[in-house]
Amino acid sequence: MRIAIVDDCESERNELYERLLKNKFLISYDVEIHLYDSGSDFLNEALQNRFDLVFLDIYMNDENGIETAQKLRAFDRKCLLVFTTTSTDHALDGFSVRALHYLVKPYSNEELEMLLDEISEKMPQKEKYIQLSSHSDNLRIRLCDILYAEHFKHCIHIFCTDNSEKIVRSTFSDFTKLFENNENFFVCSRGILVNLEHIKDINGSEFILDNNTRITISRSLIKSAKNVFGEYLFNRRDSL
């Protein structure tokens, strides 16, 4: 994820940068943060390499953040836009450039946390990561790279699309907490979590994955599995 902070005040620009670095939000993504002291410098870069998220100050020396946002929207309609400002006087203008939110200075950590949670829900699944501790290292795994995970002998075995197997020591309960509110993952039997993104079919009491691996569904969960998979396919079709 590429993030831009555009603010002509160096101290406020750096403060937001430091607060983002300390936030748990960044753990879930592969993030680059770029800082700019002018809207024109930001736009020159955005024309070459698009950003996923920009924090844009409205009141800058010789520049107006609303005008910068209008120029951005002329070539990028998808970048998430957050205005950082001392006033909401430009709320209607913000609506016209599809601003996601206003952060009114000085904003609290709680306000920033709530905003980042909202942004996380809007980011594509492929951008999201989980971070885990293995025996010798910390692992960061993209959610879309996970086929399924299985709990065995006090460890979680994570099977990935590149045919690798990651092993971390964890209870299944603690591991599945990482996927709370994530509709792409489904616990299909005791100790097995499967990624719906990589299921190509359901056959009786089995999920069939992209690589033809068959994952058994508990008898008590077959009806639920069919409903969840059907809803996932329906929602995916609507998003195309």
Maximum alpha-carbon separation in the chain: 67
Is it the case that residue 91 has pLDDT exceeding 60?
no
Q: What is the mean pLDDT of residues 128-147?
A: 81
pLDDT at residue 18, rounded to an integer = 93
Convert the pLDDT of each residue in 144-195 to its tens digit: 899 999 999 999 999 999 999 999 999 999 999 888 878 889 999 999 999 9
Q: What is the mean pLDDT of residues 41-58?
A: 94
How many other C-beta atoms can be found within 10 angstroms of the C-beta atom of residue 52?
19
Level-2 CATH architecture, domain 131-239: Beta Barrel (2.40)
CA 239 to chain centre: 16
pLDDT at residue 125, rounded to an integer = 61
Identity at 165, one-letter amino acid code: E
pLDDT at residue 92, rounded to an integer = 57
Helix (H, G, I), strand (E, B) or coil at 65: helix
Is it the case that residue 94 has pLDDT exceeding 70?
no
pLDDT class of 130 with cuts at 50, 70, 90 = confident
Domain residue extents for the chain: 2-123, 131-239
pLDDT at residue 190, rounded to an integer = 92
pLDDT at residue 61, rounded to an integer = 83
pLDDT class of 237 with cuts at 50, 70, 90 = low
Is it the case that residue 240 has pLDDT exceeding 60?
no
- Please list, residue by residue across 80-103, b when 16 or more beta carbons sit within 10 angstroms of its beta carbon and e when fewer do: bbbbbbeeeebeebbeebebbbbb
pLDDT class of 215 with cuts at 50, 70, 90 = very high
pLDDT at residue 134, rounded to an integer = 67
CATH number listed for the domain at residues 2-123: 3.40.50.2300
